[in-house]
């Protein structure tokens, strides 16, 4: 899997976009619950914690690929 992702900048771009959209949806949901002064559901608390944890891996992957170029065949 690592070779596929490392050698495919377009795939990395899509994965980062999906991660960003997921963050937008989770964050918007949390803000909505806060604005309604409703208690935040457990699933949202768990999802935000997992999102933050996975974000570390995405950040390290992104940082390590800043100068990466496609592998020539």
Distance CA 64, CA 48 (A): 24
Inform me whether the pLDDT recorded for 68 exceeds 70. Answer: no
Query: Quick one: what percent of the chain has pLDDT higher than 90?
Result: 41
Q: What average pLDDT does the segment 8-34 reach?
A: 89
pTM (predicted TM-score): 0.70
CB contact at 8 A, 5 and 12: yes
CB contact at 8 A, 12 and 65: yes
Q: What average pLDDT does the segment 39-66 reach?
A: 86
Distance CA 31, CA 22 (A): 14
CB contact at 8 A, 33 and 39: yes
Question: Given this model, what pLDDT does residue 4 score?
Answer: 62
Query: Higher model confidence: residue 62 or residue 56?
Result: 56
Average pLDDT, rounded, for the chain:
83
């Amino acid at each position: 899997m690592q070779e596929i992702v490392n050698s495919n900048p377009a795939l990395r771009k899509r994965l980062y976009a999906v991660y960003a959209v997921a963050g937008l949806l989770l964050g918007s949901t949390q803000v909505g619950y806060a604005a309604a002064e409703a208690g935040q559901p457990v699933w949202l608390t768990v999802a935000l914690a997992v999102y933050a944890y996975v974000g570390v891996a995405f950040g390290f992957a992104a940082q390590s690929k800043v100068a990466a170029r496609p592998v020539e065949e």
